Structure 1
Amino acid sequence: MSHASLTQLETRLLEAFDAMWGDYIDPRDAFRGENGEWWASVGGVGTTAASAPFSLPQLADLRQECRRLAVSNEFAINGHENRISYIVGPGHLYQATIRKGVEAPVALALEVQAVVDEFLAENDWHDRQQELVRRLDRDGEVFLRYFDDGRGGTRIRFVEPEQVAPPRELGDDSPSSHGVLTDADDVETVLGYYIDGRLIDAGEIQHRKANVDRNVKRGLPLYTAVRANLRRAEKLLRNMSVVAEIQSAIALIRKHRSATRTGVEQFVADRSAATRMDGAGRTRRVTEYGPGTILDAPSGLEYEFPATGVDAAGYVTILQAELRAIAARLVMPEFMFTSDASNASYASTMVAEGPAVKMFGRLQAAMIEQDRRVFHRVIDNAVRYGRLSADAAAAVELQVTAPTLHTRDRTLEARADEIAYRNGVLSTQTWSQRLGLDYARSRRTDACME
């Protein structure tokens, strides 16, 4: 084959490739984010893929992004604060009681209650509960570390997520990936945590995760899916405000038709009431228009008021759509997230079967279960140092009552409780807890009065 024929064939082949390249669509483009980054796989074959949807650097970037939103985005702050208010509220009530079916003196429950009350006071538990919710939503996880005070008391402190990381010599595919050491054959069996390079036994740490499956080692922040919406809402509100500020700041524009620049400047000077110096040292002429001022325009002079063209309603609709999408992620009524109650009713939303009540109830139940494990550690520590007897730990249980979520008819509730009490379904102690009363203290007060 001659050289000319080869050249012609090569040219035709390149043209065919160029045509194919121009029509090519990368099927992976559907998995690119707004900023061009690839989506991370949330599943896969094997333990490593399932337990690591994000690498540690990716998680760190994601946490920092959501932390910035939590301190600078007013809508994100409102979402965090409302979740704290409904999940924690004025605080959970902890009451030590004798277990059902156990014959034991009330004094054992009082001893356990004293240990619990000391823990609540020493660890500022109500404030710490609020911080637990904030950290869990903001970072997607919370690490609590137990400390023994040497006297049977327990102290807990937060561990920052950035402190939990595997040593450099361990690979990402090892059982120590993401700083969490697990059983080689069971990722749900946690053996320890690498904190600041040191392996800490899993019994010394409580790790609360959010928004991931059980076999995922680290949690994801609450706003992971809607952080772009939050940024857009913030920018849209900022742009709306800036445009409205500029338009409203310019009271009117005078149009001088068929006038020279010198004539316009002379007109301004004649109509000005005073002069002043601006920050740049330039002379500014000021004209005062009192309330009800009537402007008389000479021939060839027109007045235009730009503020009359401001149409904020269209932008508000777009902003509401963005905020509604974020509220949907939080499973919260729109008014809870936007603080705009003009188109919603609290009474009709916070009913027993409402989605928000169901969601907050589920979150409260999960928090109560995690808190119980903390108090089990507190009681066990007191038993180990002899502050409590083993019989007390076995005979006493801790009842936890969270704030009521749905709207209440106290009269109907009281009648229902009275019927249940008369029929032996409801005990005096449980009735007291439902009313938010301290049953043990009331009993001591009644005994003193007798």
Structure 2
Amino acid sequence: MPESTEAPSAGLNRLESRLQEAFDALWDSFVDPHEAYHGEGDGWWLPVSVAGQGRGAGEGLAAPQLAQLREECRLLALTNEFAINGHENRISYAVGAGHVYHATIRKGIDAPMELAARVQAVIDEFLEVNRWHARQQESMRRLDRDGEVFLRFFVDSRGVTRIRYIEPHQIARPTAESHNPHATHGVLTDPHDVERVEGYYIDDELTAAAEVQHRKANVDSNVKRGLPLFAPVRSNLRRAEKLLRNMSVVAEIQSAIALIRRHRSASRTGVEQFVANQATQNAADRSGRVRRLTEYGPGTILDAPAGLEYEFPATGVDASSYVTILQAELRAVAARLVMPEFMFTSDASNANFSSTMVAEGPAVKMFERVQAATIEHDLEVMWRVIDGAVRAGRLPDGVGQAVQVQATAPSVHVRNRIEETRIDQIAHQSGVLSPQSWSQHLGLDYDQEQKNLRLHDEKMAGGQNAK
């Protein structure tokens, strides 16, 4: 058999070349399975609970990632003008001038009206002591900003209830409960029912669920902690803010330069001498450098000698193209909020308020949903207040079986007050609508108005007697 005459180095080089080609082909066809979970500009997607992978019901996001997400949205609510506008508009429409609460006797129950009046007095005292209207606004802001809000109840010896907020970061699983699967996120739940909360770990101390109300948003009912409102669109808000900033900076720089003179054939020394000769005054800037200024009066005509051209850079500013991009980003955020674009951007040039806030409009339906959820939570607060008064002896046992509390939110759609009043009047005359409910429709306190009417009648009678 003849021996190979090929040098060993040549054979190694050919083998290395073949291996290189094989590796290149393999690399070209390689697909990273994690690539689908990488968001543009946002890093890796945050993992959520997946059945069968070690995370139980109610987990949601991991605690550190949820805290990071909450801090990002808090920063937007503090510094981003568009996010602030979104928060404020939701408060204005969902809370408005404040909800009205009215205690009355339940249908079909034979009980004295004096009992309802006593319950109303307890509720009114609570509203005044806790500045409830302001807290309603703050609760709405916290719920949207953090995705959740914690209210803690304190009842004194007289049965007066006071509420205070608990910051979300104070609710966390203590180290001693790190192996307890039912105490994740600082929320202790029934081992057989994740929706039945038994207590909250506040600064590592367990507090009974009866002392805390937890409102959460944007998650399923079996998830323990809520998600901020702007979590899905926080990148859009940041891009919109940067785009607006960059547009303003570029426009500022371009508009600050009045004109540029191009000297086609002059030397540097010649240009400097020309500038010195044309200057009408000299001024020193903050850095101490001398700036030569030339004043051009209205209607000035410039005559350029050969080789000299004038250019006005401000005429090249085209902000409309950037504004279109900015509007597209803000439109995406408005879609998340289910708001008309003008309500989020404050640009009413392409919208009609009366057509977007009609009774069947998407924004109205959304705000009514938010109001309904707010009323449900607020009524739970009122009943905790009543229970505190019962335990203190201010109200009799079983008051909840005889009395109900009604809550009325401000209207969010465009109102025809004359038409509404006519409908209420017909309903009242037909025995369908009570004066109390009619007062609520008007945003008035029925009992207070009756007192005002009696005072008015007494004043008028006194005036007639004097005559």
Partner of 2:445: 438
Shift in CA distance, 243/11, structure 1 to aligned 2, threshold 3 Å = closer
Deviation at 1:379, TM superposition (A): 0.3
Name the counterpart of 2:431: 424
The separation in 2 between residues aligned to 1:168 and 1:407, in whole angstroms, is 53
Residues 37, 12 of structure 1: alpha-carbon distance in 2 compared, 3 angstrom cutoff = same
- Residues 391, 53 of structure 1: alpha-carbon distance in 2 compared, 3 angstrom cutoff: closer
Q: For residue 202 of structure 1, what is the aligned residue in structure 2? A: 209
**What residue is the counterpart of 2:78 in the other structure?**
71
- Counterpart residue identity of residue 28, structure 2: G
Contact 2:46 2:65 in 1 (8 A): no
- Counterparts of 2:416 and 2:119 in 1: how far apart (Å)? 34
Please show how residues 107-118 of structure 1 align to structure 2 within 5 Å: 107-118=114-125
Instruction: Give the deviation of 1:205 after TM superposition.
Output: 0.6
Greater CA drift, 255-264 or 154-163: 255-264
- Deviation of residue 43 (structure 1)? 4.1
Q: 2:276 aligned with 1:243, yes or no?
A: no
Give, in whole Å, the separation in 1 of the partners of 2:155 and 2:55: 35
More displaced, 17-26 or 75-84?
17-26
- What displacement does 1:11 show? 7.6
> Contact 1:33–1:39 (CA<8 Å) still a contact in 2?
no
> Which residue matches 1:119?
126
Residue 19 of structure 1 aligns with which residue? 25
Number of the residue aligned with 1:189: 196
Counterpart mapping for 1:120-269 below 5 A: 120-171=127-178, 174-269=181-276
Partner of 2:102 in structure 1?
95
Q: Within 1, Cα distance between the matches of 2:190 and 2:52?
A: 17
SS across alignment from 2:262? strand
Cα distance, 1:27 vs structure 2: 3.3
Structure 2 residue 375 is the aligned partner of structure 1 residue 395: no
How many residues are treated as equivalent by the alignment?
448
Contact preservation (8 Å) 2:428, 2:435: yes
Q: Measure the CA separation in 2 of the matches of 1:419 and 1:235.
A: 56
Letter in 2 for 1:120: L
C-alpha contact 1:32 1:39 (8 A) present in aligned 2: no
Alpha-carbon spacing, 1:105–1:371, altered in 2? closer, same or farther (3 Å): same
What SS is found at the alignment partner of 1:226? helix
Structure 1 residue 95: Cα displacement? 1.1
Aligned equivalents of 1:249, 1:6: Cα separation in 2: 66
Q: CA deviation at 1:250?
A: 0.3
- For residues 374 and 179 of structure 2, the distance between their equivalents in structure 1, rounded to whole angstroms, comes to 31
Which stretch of the first structure deviates more once superposed, 207-216 or 94-103? Answer: 94-103
| Other-structure match for 1:378 | 385
How far residue 37 of structure 1 moved from its aligned partner, in angstroms, is: 1.4
CA separation in 2, counterparts of 1:392 and 1:173?
A: 39
Structure 1 CA distance for aligned equivalents of residues 229 and 389 of structure 2: 36
Does the 8 Å contact 1:47/1:187 carry over to 2? no
SS class of match (2:232) = coil
Q: Percent identity?
A: 65
- The AA in structure 1 aligned to 2:404 is E
Partners of 2:377 and 2:209 in 1: CA distance? 15
The CA deviation at 1:8 is 8.2
* Structure 2 contact 60–224 (Cα < 8 Å) conserved: no
1:279 aligns with 2:279: no
Counterpart in the other structure of 2:350: 343
**Which runs of 5 or more structure 1 residues have no equivalent in the other structure?**
none
Paired position in structure 1 for 2:89: 82
3-state SS of 2:43 partner: coil
Compare CA radii of gyration and give the structure with the larger one: 2
- For 1:295-314, list aligned pairs within 5 A: 295-314=302-321
